[in-house]
């Protein structure tokens, strides 16, 4: 370990974040390594090490001969201050080498508020921020993750973006770089070749022109770049990599447990949900493989909890049988089986009986909207009767802690819809009083609301976000309507959601704002303690851009959107049709019931749903 690092670690919070050396950490002989990959997560160690996708790709890359993938995370501000004072660059945990010395510096970006952390990590690593300032082939700066379905805000800072799932795509790119190094390719030559790989988007190969009103006039590919970049999809989940032997952190992380990914995609089609569209089609792992992977991971790690995770876990076709398959090992080894947020329309007594064999942690349901009209508009396909039945089942089974999640500011929302959330909360209290099998603990009902953020590749990608003042008014309206003592109401900070809406649908001009706000000190904007709206507004003003142009403006159907080059196979025509149905409050059946013709089935030979 660097002696300078040893001296500063006693001065910072949670020094275990920065030392590495965990169980199952991968080390390789540098003499046998041809490509070194610095895998950067633009948030803290506790967040990054809780990310299953990050663990999957770490394992995939390190299984490749001649490739050494190492980890780097965003330091907490106290550690960053010490590093800058001591002139210590951001280094990888495995070898302690500066990330600027690696062949590839790759970022996993799942949310837009991490952009400033990306820039800060590059700067801490001694890497020039702008791609044009990095003429050499290496270090190659790349990014993947859900946020890259619109990579335009950081287009000036990355050499390429990976669109879609990376288990097959990332090794292909690494092997291409290996060839480029051996044959002494120039960076432009490599980028032109990489752009021919399905799922690779090279921003520098596309010219963007703007109209006088600020909207996009054209996006023109150059040097043979494709006119449309299609996402990569892993077709067979039973053949995809799972990190059964994975790093066991030396310090507590957010999700300190084994996570089993049941399937990818979602059958539901909620009109606000980006993940539900971009991860289509649904592809399931077999219950037999999941049981095997779960037991292997638990044995190797020593964890006492396993969670079953997907976008809508309770939609897994063999969930009950899977729970039965895991139950023997879990009961013998005192392992708790848990599920994340559940759907209110399929939480059954049968499922509850399996969950209650472990400790009774809180249950979470996400009705999203306060009235049936608005739930139909967003295509949630959940009724109040569904929710009541699920709560009745939970309360009668001994649960007393329940969380309900909603959104404010959804398209077509009225005050009646807002007040409907309070009515649902009051009804939940009455249901507990009537059906709770154990009233000694008392009911703990938490209602949480977030501010709706329009996202690319959703039916609401054309919508305007309501003004901040209107969001705060609706929060106040709902807060005053929450009268039951058993109910705790939490709401999401509006300032952060406003900037998230700007970045989610931003174009390349946002890059100069990111650079400006980073110079002002922004680095961990996903954390409310370090987010400063005034700093962002100052940066926008200095750059001559209006954030409301991106967040608060409704788009026209024929407008060229910044992400128009990218395709997740779901057509714009389908998304617009879903938007029209939203304004009619008409729901669309889920994919298991009937195909609605979104377009994603082209990657599965005409069959979307597997299960």
553, 462 Cβ separation under 8 angstroms? no
**pLDDT value at position 610?**
37
Burial 26-57 (b: 16+ CB within 10 A, else e): eebeeeeebbbbbbbbbbbbbbbbbbbbbbbb
128, 103 Cβ separation under 8 angstroms? no
**pLDDT value at position 353?**
65
- In angstroms, the CA 18 to CA 6 distance is 10
**What average pLDDT is seen over the chain?**
93
Summarised one tens digit per residue, pLDDT across range 158-208 is 999 999 999 999 999 999 999 999 999 999 999 999 999 999 999 999 999
Summarised one tens digit per residue, pLDDT across range 566-606 is 999 999 999 999 999 999 999 999 888 888 889 887 544 44
- DSSP 8-state symbol, 144: E
Task: Inform me whether the pLDDT recorded for 495 exceeds 70.
Answer: yes
Give the CB-side neighbour count of residue 567, counting CA atoms within 13 A. 17
CB atoms within 10 A of CB 293: 18
How much of the chain is helix, strand and coil, in % rounded to 5? Answer: 40, 15, 45
**pLDDT value at position 282?**
92
**pLDDT value at position 288?**
96
β-strand pairing of 140-144 with 487-491: unpaired
**pLDDT value at position 162?**
98
Task: Inform me whether the pLDDT recorded for 360 exceeds 70.
Answer: no
Give the ranges where 302-383 is alpha helix by DSSP (H): 319-332, 349-355, 372-377
**pLDDT value at position 602?**
54
**pLDDT value at position 470?**
97
Tell me the CATH number of domain 237-340+566-611, given options 3.30.559.10, 3.40.50.300, 3.30.750.210, 3.30.420.40.
Answer: 3.30.750.210
What pTM, to 2 d.p., does this model score?
0.94
CATH of domain 3-225: 3.40.50.280
- DSSP 8-state symbol, 37: E
Task: Inform me whether the pLDDT recorded for 356 exceeds 80.
Answer: no
Summarize the confidence of residues 431-444 as an average pLDDT: 88
- In angstroms, the CA 263 to CA 286 distance is 9
Task: Inform me whether the pLDDT recorded for 357 exceeds 70.
Answer: no
Summarised one tens digit per residue, pLDDT across range 361-408 is 678 899 999 999 999 999 998 999 999 999 998 898 888 899 999 999
Check if 3-225 and 237-340+566-611 are the same fold.
Answer: no
Give the CB-side neighbour count of residue 334, counting CA atoms within 13 A. 1
Residue 445 β-bridge partners: 402, 487
**pLDDT value at position 14?**
94
Task: Inform me whether the pLDDT recorded for 351 exceeds 80.
Answer: no
Summarize the confidence of residues 321-338 as an average pLDDT: 90
Burial 353-364 (b: 16+ CB within 10 A, else e): ebbeebebeebb
Count of residues for the chain? 611
**pLDDT value at position 361?**
62
Contacts of 471 by beta carbon, 8 Å cutoff, 6+ apart: 408, 409, 451, 494, 497
Kindly report whether the peptide bond that precedes residue 235 is cis, defined as omega within 30 degrees of 0.
no
Of the candidates 95, 117, 101, the residue with the CA atom closest to the CA atom of residue 41: 117
Summarised one tens digit per residue, pLDDT across range 264-273 is 999 999 999 9
208 by DSSP, 3-state: which? strand
**pLDDT value at position 120?**
98
Of the candidates 477, 522, 472, the residue with the CA atom closest to the CA atom of residue 497: 472
- In angstroms, the CA 410 to CA 418 distance is 10
Out of 98-102, 439-443, 445-449, 498-502, least confident range: 439-443
All structural domains of the chain with their residue ranges: 3-225, 237-340+566-611
pLDDT band at residue 354 using 50, 70 and 90 as cut-offs: low
- Torsions phi, psi for 210 (to 5 deg): -120, 150
Task: Inform me whether the pLDDT recorded for 346 exceeds 80.
Answer: no
- In angstroms, the CA 412 to CA 377 distance is 8
- Torsions phi, psi for 493 (to 5 deg): -60, 125
| Alpha-carbon separation of residue 49 from 44, 116, 169, 253, 286 (angstroms) | 9, 20, 22, 7, 25
């Amino acid at each position: 370990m660097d002696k300078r690092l040893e001296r500063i670690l006693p001065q910072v919070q949670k020094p275990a974040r920065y030392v590495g050396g965990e169980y199952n950490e991968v080390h390789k002989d540098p003499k046998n390594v041809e490509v070194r990959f610095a895998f950067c997560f633009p948030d803290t160690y506790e967040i990054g090490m809780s990310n299953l996708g990050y663990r999957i790709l770490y394992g995939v890359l390190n299984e490749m001969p001649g490739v050494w993938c190492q980890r780097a995370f965003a330091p907490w501000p106290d550690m960053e201050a010490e590093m800058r004072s001591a002139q210590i660059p951001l280094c990888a945990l495995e070898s302690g080498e500066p990330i600027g010395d690696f062949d590839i510096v790759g970022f996993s970006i799942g949310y837009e508020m991490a952009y400033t952390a990306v820039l800060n990590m590059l700067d801490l690593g001694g890497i020039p921020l702008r791609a044009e300032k990095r003429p050499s082939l290496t270090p190659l700066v790349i990014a993947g993750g859900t946020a890259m379905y619109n990579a335009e805000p950081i287009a000036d800072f990355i050499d390429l973006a990976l669109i879609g799932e990376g288990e097959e795509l990332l090794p292909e790119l690494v092997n291409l770089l290996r060839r480029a190094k051996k044959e002494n390719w120039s960076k432009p030559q490599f980028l032109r070749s990489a752009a021919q790989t399905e799922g690779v988007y090279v921003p520098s190969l596309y010219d963007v022109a703007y109209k006088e009103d600020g909207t996009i006039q054209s996006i023109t590919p150059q040097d043979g770049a494709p006119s449309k970049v299609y996402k990569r999809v892993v077709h067979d989940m039973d053949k995809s990599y799972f990190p059964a032997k994975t790093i066991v952190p030396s310090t507590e992380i957010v999700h300190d447990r084994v996570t089993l990914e049941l399937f990818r995609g979602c059958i539901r089609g909620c009109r606000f949900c980006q993940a539900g569209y971009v991860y289509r089609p649904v592809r399931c792992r077999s219950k037999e493989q999941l049981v095997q992977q779960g037991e292997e991971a638990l044995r190797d790690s020593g964890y006492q909890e396993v969670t079953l995770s997907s976008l809508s876990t309770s939609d897994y076709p063999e969930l009950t049988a899977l729970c039965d398959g895991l139950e023997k090992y879990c009961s013998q080894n005192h392992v708790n089986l848990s599920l994340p947020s559940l759907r209110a329309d399929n939480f059954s007594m049968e499922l509850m009986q399996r969950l209650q064999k472990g400790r009774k942690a809180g249950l979470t349901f996400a009705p999203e909207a306060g009235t049936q009209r608005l739930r139909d508009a967003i295509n949630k396909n959940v009724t109040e009767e569904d929710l009541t039945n699920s709560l009745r089942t939970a309360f009668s089974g001994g649960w007393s802690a329940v969380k309900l999640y909603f959104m404010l500011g959804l398209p077509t929302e009225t005050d009646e819809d807002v007040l409907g959330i309070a009515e649902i909360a009051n009804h939940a209290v009455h249901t507990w009083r009537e059906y709770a099998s154990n009233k000694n603990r008392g009911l703990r009902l938490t209602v949480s609301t977030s501010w709706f953020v329009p996202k690319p590749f959703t039916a609401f990608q054309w919508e305007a976000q309501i003004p901040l003042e209107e969001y705060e008014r609706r929060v106040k309206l709902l807060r005053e309507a929450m009268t039951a003592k058993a109910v705790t109401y939490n709401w999401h900070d509006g300032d952060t959601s406003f900037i998230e809406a700007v970045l989610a649908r931003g174009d390349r001009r946002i890059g100069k704002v990111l650079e400006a706000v980073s110079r002002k000190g922004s680095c961990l904007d996903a954390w409310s303690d370090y987010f400063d709206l005034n700093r962002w507004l100052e940066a926008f003003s200095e750059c001559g851009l209006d954030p409301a142009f991106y967040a608060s403006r409704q788009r026209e159907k024929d407008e060229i959107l910044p992400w128009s080059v990218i395709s997740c196979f779901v057509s714009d025509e389908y998304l617009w049709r879903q938007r029209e149905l939203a304004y009619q409050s008409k729901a669309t059946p889920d994919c298991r019931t009937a195909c609605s013709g979104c377009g994603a089935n082209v990657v599965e030979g005409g069959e979307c749903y597997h299960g």
